[in-house]
Chain A
């Protein structure tokens, strides 16, 4: 059976779509509206997840459990993890920016399946609300975002079942999105646009979507079996009925390790768009960047058991997963060296977007280094399930993905709204976030090495001072949201007009009006075969000298 997508299908009914501000509350099929719906919805969940994180850090100011009951503490840490992963980072780095940018980048007027796209988004708000409402109905899930059985089977069933249904809906949303991105990138490309001419974010989203489509169904199947164990008292994972808890861990991590790349690969793509524009230089090493994304995808699928070095795995398995995990550092390292080479010799505008992107590089390097350390079995055996892992993970997902989300908002806000964000407030936002983040999470490496396990409401008093420092960092992170929130609201109303292309960028989304019209371009979409051609016109007559080449 042949498979083809007729782009004309999406062009027949634009007039049926609502216009004006209320289209953002409608079942719109416009990829830009859906992208911003993902972004705003995700940010609301970020505020909720962040409030829960603040509650956790308040509890940990003192070594005893005194701020909230222990069951509530476990519910809050479960909700915090689930919300931040499934309702903030994954939907935003994939759904929000993917929806907004990918059709522009491939020269299309919408996604391949606009209705599926809308369904993918509209699964998220009810799933999120259901997840949070379980806290008020009969107690939310309290077995952590990993929901390991038998704990998830023995804790109160209602909250756990609601958690499973929510995650299934969110997983469904991810799969719909992933299929749509793959189809859009591969089948809706403007004639004449080759794969190796696509902006890097397309490659990142292609790689991410492959991971989503291959691994998310495994999580869905696993959670359905877990729900059978809880509701129907089957024994898939219940050892009391002959089940095996380790099998759950294998299946869970087969999705949940790639989930880390589902959160960071799009962030890698976004940074690859932002750095060249604000450095006024082409993206360095395009081809190796593409191969490194695909290398990360392949390796990302075969490293899940490094989460299980203390669970009970045969020695050979530990060795295999050690080597596979550590080698992800090679393609990842290539990307980081290429980004630094993109900056090197540029004409860098020191603005909020580049500061958050550079903050990402610094934070992620530290997260990557601790990741390589954690891949080593002997090292992992000591620090597994401790605050060292909490620190490492937050350096990857907050220091990595969330910094990039903010960088991307500063970069694309003029395109979204036609207005500029205030730079002074943006820099203030960056400084407080960067200091608060490092103050919060850097000391946690020491906590883990010295004996503080994660997911505890009470701890050894010797760790009180370091926990208090960490909590001050968390408070700063919470405060850092204020200048950002004020900025995005104030600038939308009274911000300076941005014009169509305030950064003089060459990528296709900037070659239309800000904000763009319903079908992205009036007339034919431009064919952009060289999205990073900065400096080519200016320097076409002067060959780089040997010294300049050597300096790279």
Chain B
């Protein structure tokens, strides 16, 4: 029969695990999900949140319990037992965190790969020939396109120029320069980013993506928007006095609406009379 301490330990651990899972399911900690990367990211967040809650609540409970249960009573003068170590216990609490960390690392690698982190970033941009001699760095690569239909959709190439204190989006095909980013729902986007002055960072919380925009070192960011709406684009790297005001908007539109916006703003080809 299990000793009483073991039963309590199992019961408390189960309560913590279930509590952590319940909290991650019922409490909202993240903004809307609007890209193919976001739900994958949220899976990782959920796992980290559950493990973190268990650890935090468990350790806090142990400390509080110790302070209450083992506090020196009035008039008490003696010392505790002179126990200095316990090898099996120390091996256990070295091995368990190591296994948990290894699990988290492998799981996060899987998430990273599913978000396209291990993909070569140079391939998807139309300026490929120009970039052969230029090393391109990027954040998360293009999200894994899981369906045949998505794979057949062409990539929309956009160029981002960041400067104190604005983002400018250039659509090479239509020669559009816009202060707002318009993208069609469900179409993969490849954005080549360069800064004119200091380091900026392109961040859309609803996409769960961020990439620094670096002077002298173009970077690339690939994503596929999955939910129509207007989402903030935020500069996340301190870039000067008006850094807090360096914001823009990404407008995720239905493909027809996007085409309409594109046609309206694209430079019309000159017609020779």
Stretch at the interface among A144-152, A178-186, A409-417, A513-521: A144-152
Task: Decide yes or no: A334 and B94 within 8 Å by CB, A151-B199, A347-B72 being known contacts.
Answer: yes
Size of the B side of the interface (Cβ < 8 Å), in residues, is: 82
A314 in the interface (beta carbon within 8 A) = yes
> How far does the Cβ of B153 sit from chain A's closest Cβ, in whole Å?
24
Does B250 interact with chain A (Cβ within 8 Å)?
Answer: no
User: Min CB distance, A67 to chain B, in Å?
Assistant: 13
- From 47 to 64 in chain B, residues with beta carbon under 8 angstroms from any chain A beta carbon are 48, 51-52, 55-56, 59-60, 62-63
A366 to B54, CA, bound (A): 11
Q: Are A350 and B232 in contact (CB under 8 A)?
A: no
A345 touches B217 (CB 8 A): no
Known contacts being A282-B82, A288-B94, A340-B59, is A378 close to B240, with CB within 8 Å?
no
Task: Write out, one digit per residue, whether chain B residues 243-255 have a CB within 8 A of any chain A CB (1) or not (0).
Answer: 1110000000000
Q: Give the distance in Å from the alpha carbon of A340 to the alpha carbon of B86 in the complex.
A: 13
With A and B bound together, what is the CA distance between A285 and B71 in angstroms? 21
Chain A residues with CB under 8 Å of B10's CB are none
Tell me the bound Cα distance from A283 to B84 in angstroms.
6
Of the candidate stretches A98-106, A316-324, A478-486, A489-497, the one touching chain B is: A316-324
Q: Which of A356-379 contact B (CB under 8 A)?
A: 358, 361-362, 365-366, 369-370, 372-373, 376-379
Which of A122-130, A166-174, A255-263, A449-457 touches B? A449-457
B67 and A343 contacting across the interface, CB-CB below 8 Å:
yes
Q: Are A285 and B90 in contact (CB under 8 A)?
A: yes
Interface string of B220-263 (1 = CB under 8 A from A): 00000000000010111111111111000000000000000000
- In the complex, what's the smallest C-beta–C-beta distance from A24 to chain B, in angstroms? 35
Establish whether residues B112 and A382, one from each chain, have CB atoms under 8 Å apart when the complex forms. no
**B44 in the interface (beta carbon within 8 A):** yes
Beyond A343-B63, A358-B63, whether A148 also contacts B238 by CB under 8 A is: yes
**Which residues does chain B contribute within 8 Å of A381, judged by CB atoms?**
139-140, 208-211
Does B85 lie at the interface of the complex (its beta carbon under 8 Å from any beta carbon of A)? yes
Cross-interface CB contact of B98 among A330, A384, A385, A536, cutoff 8 Å: A330
Q: Does A311 contact B (CB under 8 A)?
A: yes
Residues from chain B with Cβ under 8 Å of A337 in the complex = 90, 93
Interface centre among A318, A370, A376, by most chain B C-beta atoms within 10 angstroms, is A376
Q: List chain B residues, Cβ under 8 A from A242.
A: 216
Q: Of B41, B55, B79, B243, which contacts A456 at CB under 8 A?
A: B243
A sample of 15 more A-B contacts (CB under 8 A), given A322-B108, A327-B98, A378-B108, is A73-B241, A154-B197, A242-B216, A246-B217, A281-B82, A315-B117, A322-B109, A340-B59, A347-B79, A369-B55, A370-B52, A376-B44, A376-B111, A382-B208, A535-B79
Mark B residues whose CB is within 8 Å of A: 3, 5, 29-31, 40-41, 44-45, 48, 51-52, 55-56, 59-60, 62-63, 66-67, 70-72, 76, 78-86, 89-90, 93-94, 97-98, 101, 104-105, 108-109, 111-112, 115, 117-118, 137-140, 197-199, 201, 203, 205, 208-212, 214-217, 219, 232, 234-245
9 contacts between A and B (CB under 8 A): A151-B240, A310-B139, A312-B217, A343-B66, A361-B59, A369-B51, A377-B108, A382-B41, A382-B208
Q: Give the interface of A toward B (CB within 8 A).
A: 65, 69-71, 73-74, 142-144, 148, 150-151, 154-155, 239-240, 242-246, 279-288, 309-315, 318-319, 322-323, 326-327, 329-330, 333-334, 336-338, 340-341, 343-350, 354, 358, 361-362, 365-366, 369-370, 372-373, 376-379, 381-382, 384-386, 446, 449-451, 453-460, 532-536, 538-539, 544, 548-552
